């Protein structure tokens, strides 16, 4: 009888430990999903801005963001080419449409990653719920 109670306690501790680990993973995944959501918003804003840039006439005066809430006055000299960082601090000239395609590809990848993250959150949440029910049942049996 005492040995059986020991096994039950070990099983309960094991389930509780797994439950805690899952909760930590869920917190991390939720933070990751929030960051991905912010990235999606930024990328969508960029696509919209590129569309507006294409409509803007050469010589038109613009406010160019330098930092959050800080702008420089500028005049548009070329609305057909952009300077794009393609990685490793390498800058290349790209057309607006080509840049839009690049951003749309990033949007697709980030969306897929966010969808996978949400799927993982759902799976872990289901397992956490299952563990919680098992733990509550085990505690109820002890009483």
CATH at residue 7? 1.10.287.370
Sign of the alpha-carbon dihedral angle for 86, 47, 34, 110: negative
At 142 the pLDDT is 64
Burial status of residue 69 (CB atoms within 10 A of its CB: 0-12, 13-18, 19 or more): exposed
Q: What is the pLDDT along the chain (143 residues), one digit of tens a residue?
A: 566 677 778 888 999 999 999 999 999 999 999 999 999 999 999 999 999 888 889 999 988 889 989 999 999 998 889 999 988 989 999 999 999 999 999 999 999 999 999 999 999 999 999 999 998 988 877 65
When divided into structural domains, the chain yields a total of 1
pLDDT given at position 65 = 86
pLDDT for residue 143: 58
Q: What is the DSSP string of 32-76?
A: HHHHHHHHHHHHHHHHHHHHHHHHSPTT-EEEEEEETTEEEEEE-
The continuous run of DSSP H or E covering 104 comes out as: helix 96-142
- The Cα 45–Cα 53 span in angstroms is 12
Domain of residue 50 covers 2-142
Contact present, 63 and 76 (Cβ < 8 Å): no
């Amino acid at each position: 009888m005492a040995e059986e109670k020991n096994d039950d306690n070990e099983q309960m501790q094991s389930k509780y430990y797994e439950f805690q680990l899952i909760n930590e993973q869920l917190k991390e995944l939720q933070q990751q999903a929030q960051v991905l959501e912010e990235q999606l918003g930024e990328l969508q804003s960029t696509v919209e801005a590129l569309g507006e840039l294409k409509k803007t006439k050469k010589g038109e005066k613009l406010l160019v963001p330098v930092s959050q809430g800080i702008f420089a006055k500028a005049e548009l000299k070329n609305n057909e080419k952009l300077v794009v960082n393609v990685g490793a601090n390498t800058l290349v000239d790209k057309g607006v449409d080509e840049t839009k395609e690049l951003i749309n590809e990033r949007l697709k990848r980030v969306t897929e990653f966010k969808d996978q993250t949400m799927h993982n959150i759902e799976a872990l949440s289901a397992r956490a719920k299952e563990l919680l029910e098992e733990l509550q049942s085990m505690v109820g049996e002890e009483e």
